[in-house]
Structure 1
């Protein structure tokens, strides 16, 4: 009996020691695991990123992270943390910023929630389609797909077959992510333009000498090219609307320049004003056949809700500010033109 009791005590001691050892081991592993999950990752430099591509397994993404220089943690620890956070089955496709000081937990949460790295591309008011395409070709990491398409094929890809591309994309800043294409961005910009144009047309002032929203877009593009001064847009819109109402030609230089195309060398000569093209508003009545530039929302507003008044002319001040002098009569306008020439020569020379 004494021997049996001694054996029982020994077994109980062994059980206690085993439990203590197991507890200590579990505590060690838990401490290591939590220390890994919330410790800053090493091997990351500013500006690095991790890509998750369609069809990637978590193991493949982890291998890509190792390739980026991250050596922290065992693969099993990464997999356990990903499973705990729900990131292993819910990784969202995209590009994720790797930032010095970030932890495995932070990175996996971003991948689970789709907080991808984004980029910005701005369409500038007054750009023409050539300038827009040139800027898109330089945008990275935007995927390039339209380089070999002419303008007609481009618009067909955008489901706008037969539509002239000029002025069909709303100037503003667009956010995109890796994997997006130039065509994706243009489609969004075209849809934004259509919405903005429709809204402006529906809110138009009564009695405009414009047949439809398309003519409003053409007028807005001219206003956009005539001034970069916000408070002048509606006033210039008013001048053009009154000229159209009275059957006067618009006589606006930006349309002449657009009609010249690659022949424009930075100067408009008298011969250019007399050279007839579909866009020369000195030689032709009414509006040109298409927009001449990308018009922003403010220019659309100026075309559809122009300022009231009786001014029929305007000319640049001539001091380099971009501002204009507005006149009611031709005599007033001619005097303003002479003053413009005087100021211009005084500042920039003959």
Structure 2
């Protein structure tokens, strides 16, 4: 059996170490505080005896370091593991978003590389384009970006036009990118802006916000400017003049009531209000406006070689051409058909004249109703031979020139077989004409909403 008494240590300080107090202990048996080190003990004794502390011995005796604080229990660790400080959590979320965006950017790069190499880019974009745009903050915009505006455009605001009508007019003029971009912007405004009738100078490819600012800027309003297109009647013309110039409609109605005021011997100014863009001085009257338009019509008649005694006749033929022809070259062919049918003592049978006489010229279709075709009024060329009583619209320069200079040809019939393109078939025989009419009817079946 081994000896329980340990042999004496060879270290001369071993017994001294054994008799030193445990520095980890805080108090002795009597409850007094025990110093942590010999230095503290000497300093304490010196304070008690008012003597300076003794110098340390030349031989240092190492003292064990104080024990470290106890480690937290496992239960405490698990209890706090799920509680992430708020700031740390936010940073983690931002980092996660950056990583996700980085992944999508990497995907875009891969798509481009693959697309360039093997045409896979189109497939990948079709398959994941929406997700890529969403991840990168992209998206199809209904509006032009600021700074894209270029060129020029004119937009007319008429009396009674609201946000939707103006939005459509801006789109039709090429100002805005979509038909509802301007209106969508308006509904988000805290208050509705006021729009004044007139013609405005803008640019193409403007943002909705820029277009609104332009319409609200008086400098962009073409004061006393009116745009009158070809083919309008007197009634439609004076309505546009009132909207554009701010002159009461009643003033224009009174101004056109007596054609003799403008040295016109006809019973109406129909055909005499020349279509063009006019700019007048401030304070212009309705009568002065009408006189200017009649003078412009006379200028065009004179340029085409029309003698004064033939003005009403040529304006009547030109007004039919203006309403019937769709393409510039066809103006001169339609004029020839009118001359050939008059020479052959045939009924002109022009739908535009029947529609005008029955007041259905603007019903939105080229087809005439049975009532219009059979109504016995002096403009209906399905009932009365020769030219109608007078013009049915205001013709422009080309129509007047065509009335004076028809192209040579044997045609007696014509029909527009494609209302979208204006393709027109001219025929000599009624059989060929009937075949063209059948072609037109077939097109109308295939395009029911195109004005048939």
Do they fold alike, i.e. is TM over 0.5? yes
After TM superposition, the structure 1 = structure 2 runs for residues 65-80 of structure 1, keeping only pairs within 5 Å, are none
- Within 2, Cα distance between the matches of 1:172 and 1:226? 20
1:308-328 deviations in Å (ceiling 9; x for gaps): 011111001135222311111
- Equivalences for residues 1-350 of structure 1 within 5 A: 119-141=224-246, 146-147=251-252, 149=254, 151-153=256-258, 155-160=259-264, 163-202=267-306, 212-261=310-359, 265-266=363-364, 268-348=368-448
Query: Are the aligned partners of 1:314 and 1:325 in contact in 2 as well (CA < 8 Å)?
Result: yes
TM-score (norm 1): 0.59
1:317 is paired with a residue whose SS is: strand
CA contact (8 A) 1:145 1:182 kept: no
Deviates more, 1:267-276 or 1:124-133: 267-276
Q: Which has the higher contact order (CA 8 A, sep 6+)?
A: 1
Q: Which segment drifts farther, 264-273 or 306-315?
A: 264-273
* Offset from partner CA, 1:279-322 (integer Å, 9 cap, x none): 11011000011100001011000001001011111001135222
* Aligned residues of 1:313 and 1:326 also touching (Cα < 8 A): yes
Q: Distance in 2 between matches of 1:340 and 1:167?
A: 30
Deviations 1:209-245 (A, max 9, x none): xx83321110000000112421210111111111111
Note closer, same or farther for the CA distance 1:148–1:282 as it changes in structure 2 (3 Å cut): closer
1:160 Cα deviation after fit: 3.9
The alpha carbon displacement at 1:123 in A equals: 1.7
Q: Which has the larger radius of gyration?
A: 2
TM-score, with normalisation over the residues of structure 2? 0.46
Work out the CA distance in 2 between the residues paired with 1:187 and 1:301: 22
Return the alpha-carbon distance in structure 2 between the equivalents of residues 226 and 137 of structure 1: 27
Cα separation, 2, equivalents of 1:157 and 1:297: 24
* CA root-mean-square deviation: 2.6
Gaps of 5+ in 2: 1-221
Q: Secondary structure at the match of 1:212?
A: helix
Q: Which runs of 4+ in 1 moved over 6 A?
A: none
